[in-house]
Amino acid sequence: EPKRKPKLLDDPQDPFAKICDVELAHLDGCRFDVSFRTREGELLQEQPCPMGPGHGPEAVSTFVASATYCMASSLNYYLAKARVVPQELSAKGHAEMRLT
């Protein structure tokens, strides 16, 4: 039997399909501005349609933002310890979920 190819969850045929992208921009210290690239809205966490109204990012978006923030904030911290002041610091996060 041939091995089944993983299905990307951003398939337009699948209503539960999802790819999540976030962008973080360093403001100061450990503060970052988070932009959710897959949907607009304030940080009101809920499930997308059909399970919820989808007014804000769902759990996977905030998870990716958190992981990206952790890496960017850690980099900023260690740069400061080394007395390196970056001219600009930004980070991008990306997640793909696959059905197997």
Query: What tens digit of pLDDT does each residue of 22-74 get?
Result: 777 777 766 677 777 655 443 555 666 676 666 666 778 888 988 998 999 89
Length of the chain: 100
The token pair that represents 82 in the structure block: 């080394």
Q: What is the per-residue pLDDT for 41? A: 43
Q: What is the per-residue pLDDT for 25? A: 79
The token pair that represents 32 in the structure block: 């970052």
**What confidence category does residue 1 fall into, taking pLDDT thresholds of 50, 70 and 90?**
low
Q: What is the per-residue pLDDT for 12? A: 58
Q: Are 46 and 53 in contact (CB under 8 A)?
A: yes
Q: What is the per-residue pLDDT for 92? A: 93
Give me the phi and psi of 11, to 5 degrees please. -65, 120
Sign of CA dihedral 96, 28, 40, 37: negative
Using a cut of 0.75, tell me whether the model's pTM lies above it: no
